Every structure is written in structure tokens, then in C-alpha cells.
Amino acid sequence: MPDYKAPLRDTRFLIDDVFDFHGSYAALGAGDATPDMVAAILEEGAKFCEQVLAPLNRSGDEQECQFNNGVVTTPKGFKEAFAQYVEGGWNGLAADPAYGGQGLPHSLGLLISEMVGTSNTSWGMYPGLTHGAMSAIHAHGSEEQKQTYLTPLTEGRWTGTMCLTEAHCGTDLGLIKTRAVPQADGSYSISGSKIFISAGEHDMSENIVHLVLAKLPDAPAGTRGISLFIVPKFLPDTAGQVGARNAVSCGSIEHKMGIKASATCVINFDSASGYLIGEANKGLNCMFTMMNHARLGTGMQGLCLGEASFQGALKYANERLQMRALSGPKAPEKAADPIIVHPDVRRMLLTMKAFNEGNRALAYFTAQLLDQAHRSDSAEQRDEAENLLAFLTPICKAFMTETGLEVTNQGMQVLGGHGYIREWGMEQLVRDCRIALIYEGTNGIQALDLLGRKVLGSQGKLLRGFSKIVHKFCEAQVDHPQLKEHVDQLAVLNKQWGELTQKIGVAALQNPDEVGAASMDYLMYSGYVTLAYFWLRMAVVAQHKLEAGTGEAAFYQAKLATCAFYFKRLLPRTAAHLAAAEAGSACMMSLPAEHFGL
């Protein structure tokens, strides 16, 4: 298993030099998040992830979660690591101080989540789902519900889940059958079964708070009739402590390709006591608070697993001796050259590095928007941040996981046959990453959301909100002496982005299938252009640092070299996605279903 080392230098580059987190914190009134405090939090978080979580990654994959008569046991060391995590205050880092949190910016919590997810993705699922549940209760719960649930969730004594999917329906939540019957005491009797519930049952906390989608007896059909309920595993007593067992049980856990140490459960509700959160029949609106949190977290998993894979591949490529360089020996004193000298190995490593560092910049920019949306005193700034988040969330979820899977596959390939062998740990990263393209809304659904709802549904407003940022940046850098070629390339693609959108929109007026046919290629095109913008932002800063004189010239030169690789070897993929998106739906919709085969 690759040894994990938190990429703190790259993190500092982004938060200090590219995005100026500290200036943003000051402007948003987050004065407690001083540079010294942020540095200390990152250092301590890195130690916890490197020394506590990373050593449990492979053993967790091998032991898996165990299910016995409704009881789920997590792998050895998981429960103790969670207790240490809670004791260190990490669970409440960005939570509301009114309920025991530290009140630090959401972006700082995301930096820690990245390290957690890279060191041990399965383990990170447990606190990750809890943070989503806390967000939904904080945004939509009554004051009584907040007082009852947020403090123990913040303290880590209780954990949370989101219960959406049922066996007969996945994304189409309008088909759910779970029912909620009003009771005389104001509670609801919840009956039904949910599947694929991450962290739905485990031994790491004293209670589990389920957020459950269900329908009232008189609910309208479809998604307009969905309500959201808090259904705890144990009912809170009058003192807010764990009380009587609720009628909630785990029917089984799934045997999965990856993230095997994360319990994926069938949860049964047999007339369980539940409590309406938010308005009746408006549950999907409430759940989207949690779902968007989860989608950003899932996108981060692509980055996290890609980073772990890159670290393992880079170490191997520097040590593995194989053949001589085509241009002559590079290590003549050795029996052969390290494989990092070979162009194809460099292609794989640079692809990994370019996607990881570009995705990290995208994630941190999105995290900064979360801070602005939650903390800004300006309604205009909050609205702008929310619109950018709405636009970027499906890109984060889908593009970061698609490229994350490519990166983990490349990492396994760098090791050749050893990458396919379990003890090297590289194949686990591929298996763990594969689910990220599927859950929290498949990437096809994210693509439909981006093109259909966010872009065409807003008459292009959300796209223009981001493309104007790119346009202004290109205008400001149009005469950049070293980077002008890349600036011009980005400006052309940014203009083309709007033209492609208009073309699809016009075609969709005649045939709505045009949106579904183009959506995935449209999303990938959008992702490549988005990363190009962030790579240029990083390159401009790196060039400035080099010209100003620095003792870290190699670090900044690596940024410029990787940026050049991205623009020359990866960004041209936009041409293929453009051609495919413009090809229309006829070639995929004309074949009758009965003629596909068999």
C-alpha cells in the first residue's frame, strides 16, 4: 500500500497564493481562522491522516465490514480512530458554535476532508455522511430539532445518514414507496425499506440519525409529494440522551467491488417513529442541501484517490529499473534506468499530476464559494456564490470522478504487473474510485443536471456567470509574455462553449432527446475548459513567483511544466467532445431496442 503524505505544499500554494483564503476569511468575518491557526490545523490534520487513518486503509479493505443478525462491525481500528477523530475536535471543525462546533470556515473543513479521504476513503464515509445530515438539519430543521440532534452529531456521539434509494427505484425518487402516517403526538409512523445506505449501521457511534424520504398518505404523485423525516436508531429521551430503540433495523450489507470498509446497508423501517423536517411535500428541497454536500464530497473522492495513486506511482517510477532511455543512459552506474525517464511513463505521471492538481484547484475554488454563500454580508455576493455553486457542483461531481478513475487506472498501469497485485495497494484505489462515478447521482444524471437544468434551464445565465469570469481573466492576461499561447487557446474554447450551448439548445426545441444525447460530452467539455482556467491561474502565479525570485524555483517550474502538458496533451480532448456533442441524437436513438442483440 502506498505511504500517504499530505500534499501540504500544494495546499499552501492554492490557499495562500492563488485564492488568498486568508484575505477571504478576513473579509467574511472569520477572524479566528488566522494564518497561524490554519497552518497548525493542517499540520495536525496531516499527522492524524498519515499516522492513524492511512495504516488502516489496506487492512480495512481486507477485513471489510461484518454483518451478524442486524449488527454491523467495522474493521479493526476503525472505531478507535473515530474516537480519536472526535476527541481531536475534527468532527465539529466547521460546525455552528451554537451546537458545540468551532465555527471555522467550511473551506477549512474541506481541506481536512481531502486528507481524510485520501488516506482512507472508506473510513471517511462515516463522518462525511454525518456532516451532510448536520447541514440539512441546520438549514431546514426546527429549533427543537436543532437542539436535539445537532449537538450530539457535532460532538460525534451520534452519526447521520441520508436514506433515499429503494430497490425498485434509484434516481427516480418520485417512485418511492416508503410511507409516513401522521400520529396523534405529532410524530409520524415510517414504514418502508431503503437500500445502498452508506454508514446505515455500524459500531462507531452510540446512535445513528437517519434522514428519510417518504410520502404522506395524501401526498401528490411524483417528486412533488416527497417529505423528509428524521428517524433516529434510538429515540432521544427527555434529557437528549439515547433512549428506547426505534423500529429501525439493518437487513443486510452489500458485498461490494470497493470501499469495502464502508457499510452499505439495507435499512428497514417498521412503523418507526419519525419527525417531519421542513414542510410537508417539500422534502426533496430539504434533501438537496444534503445531496449537494454529498455530491461535492463525492467529487473530492476522485481527487483523493487520484492523489493516493499518484504518490504510489511516482515512488515506484523513481525506483523501478527497466531498460535504457531512448536518448541514452540516464543512470549509467545502474543496471538500467528508472522508468520515469521513459516518455510513456512520463505521459501517465503527468496526466495524473495535471488532473490531480487541476481538480484540487477546482475543489478549493468551490470551497471558497461555500464560505461566501454562508458568511457574506452582501446579498449580491451570496447570490453570485450560490449560482456558481449550482453550476460547478455537477462538474465537480462528474468530471473529478471520471478523471479520478482515469488517474487511478494510470497509477496501476505505471506499476505494470505489480499494479495488478493486491499487496501494492494500487488496484484497491481503482476499485474504491469506481463507485464515485455511480453514487450521489450517476455521472449521466449530473450531465443532464448541468446541461438541462443548470444551463438551458437558466437560459444560459449560470454558464455566463462562470464564462464571464474566464473571459475577464483572459482579457487581463492577453499579452502575458510567457503564457499568451495558452490564454488565446482558453479564450477560443470559452467562446466556443457558449456557441455549443446555443446549438444544443436550438436542436432541443425540436427534439428534447438532443439534450440527453449531448449531455455527457458537454459536461466533459465543460470540465476540461474549467480546469484550463484554473491551470492558467496557477501558472500566472507561478511565473510571477519565479520572476520575483524564490528559493522554491523547482516547485513553480513544475507548475508551469504541468500547465503546458495540460494545454498541449489533455485540453485537445475538447475537440472530440465537441464533435460528439454536436453529432446529435439520431445515431444513438434510431436503433430499435429489440435490435440491440440477443
580 is a domain residue: yes
Phi, psi of 586 (to 5 degrees): -60, -40
What percent of the chain clears pLDDT 90, i.e. is strictly above it?
A: 93
Cβ atoms of 108 and 116 closer than 8 Å: no
- What does DSSP assign to residue 75? P
506 is a domain residue: yes
β-bridge mates for residue 13, sequence order: none
Helix (H) or strand (E) run with residue 268 in it: strand 264-277
Q: What is the pLDDT of residue 31?
A: 87
How, if at all, do strands 158-163 and 234-236 pair? unpaired
470 is a domain residue: yes
- What does DSSP assign to residue 425? S
Q: How confident is the model at residue 284 (pLDDT cuts 50, 70, 90)?
A: confident
CA angle 52, 123, 437 (to 5 degrees): 135
Q: What is the pLDDT of residue 422?
A: 95
Alpha-carbon distance of 413 to 61, in angstroms, equals 21
Alpha-carbon distance of 448 to 197, in angstroms, equals 24
Number of helices and strands (H, E) in the chain?
20, 11
Specify the amino acid at residue 4.
Y
Residue 598 has pLDDT above 90, yes or no: no
Cell of 280: 410537508
Helix extents (H) in 377-512:
379-414, 426-434, 443-448, 461-476, 484-510
Q: 3-state DSSP call for residue 516?
A: helix
β-bridge mates for residue 181, sequence order: 189
Determine the distance from the C-alpha atom of residue 142 to the mean position of all C-alpha atoms in its chain, rounded to a whole number.
Answer: 28
pLDDT in tens, 391-444: 999 999 999 999 999 999 999 999 999 999 999 999 999 999 999 999 989 999
Contacts of 590 (CB under 8 A, 6+ apart): none
CA proximity to 352, closest of 22, 2, 94: 2
Residue 257 has pLDDT above 90, yes or no: yes
Among all chains, which residue has been given the C-alpha cell 481573466? 473
Alpha-carbon distance of 285 to 274, in angstroms, equals 18
- Break the chain down into helix, strand, coil percent, rounded to 5: 60, 10, 25
What percent of the chain clears pLDDT 70, i.e. is strictly above it?
A: 100
β-bridge mates for residue 321, sequence order: 338
Cell of 466: 462562470
Residue 339 has pLDDT above 70, yes or no: yes
Residue 575 has pLDDT above 90, yes or no: yes
Average pLDDT, integer, range 96-123? 96
Determine the distance from the C-alpha atom of residue 430 to the mean position of all C-alpha atoms in its chain, rounded to a whole number.
Answer: 16
How many domains is the chain built from? 1
CA proximity to 560, closest of 583, 580, 579, 544: 544
213 is a domain residue: no
pLDDT in tens, 220-231: 998 899 999 999
235 is a domain residue: no
111 is a domain residue: no
Helix (H) or strand (E) run with residue 364 in it: helix 343-375
Determine the distance from the C-alpha atom of residue 247 to the mean position of all C-alpha atoms in its chain, rounded to a whole number.
Answer: 32
Average pLDDT, integer, range 270-278? 97
Alpha-carbon distance of 213 to 229, in angstroms, equals 6
β-bridge mates for residue 169, sequence order: 166
β-bridge mates for residue 68, sequence order: 71
Q: What is the pLDDT of residue 426?
A: 98
Q: What is the pLDDT of residue 163?
A: 94
Q: What is the pLDDT of residue 2?
A: 76
CA proximity to 114, closest of 291, 302, 253: 302
What does pLDDT average to over the chain?
96
Among all chains, which residue has been given the C-alpha cell 478507535? 80
Average pLDDT, integer, range 57-83? 97
15: left (phi over 0), alpha (psi -120 to 50) or beta: alpha
Question: HSE of 542 in the Cβ direction (CA atoms, 13 Å)?
Answer: 24
Average pLDDT, integer, range 86-112? 95
Q: How confident is the model at residue 1 (pLDDT cuts 50, 70, 90)?
A: low
189: left (phi over 0), alpha (psi -120 to 50) or beta: beta
Alpha-carbon distance of 204 to 201, in angstroms, equals 9
Cβ atoms of 238 and 101 closer than 8 Å: no
Q: Which residue among the candidates 166, 201, 402, 440 is catalytic per the annotation?
A: 440
Q: 3-state DSSP call for residue 269?
A: strand
Q: What is the pLDDT of residue 528?
A: 98
Residue 177 has pLDDT above 80, yes or no: yes
Query: From residue 29, how far is each of 34, 126, 335, 366, 371 by CA, in Å?
Result: 11, 30, 60, 19, 11
pLDDT in tens, 318-328: 999 999 999 99
Alpha-carbon distance of 480 to 477, in angstroms, equals 5
Average pLDDT, integer, range 491-496? 98
pLDDT in tens, 436-476: 999 989 999 999 999 999 999 999 999 999 999 999 999 99
499 is a domain residue: yes
Dihedral of the alpha carbons of 514, 520, 525, 529, in degrees to the nearest 10:
120
Cβ atoms of 141 and 171 closer than 8 Å: no
191 is a domain residue: no
Range of the domain at 583: 455-587
440 is catalytic: yes
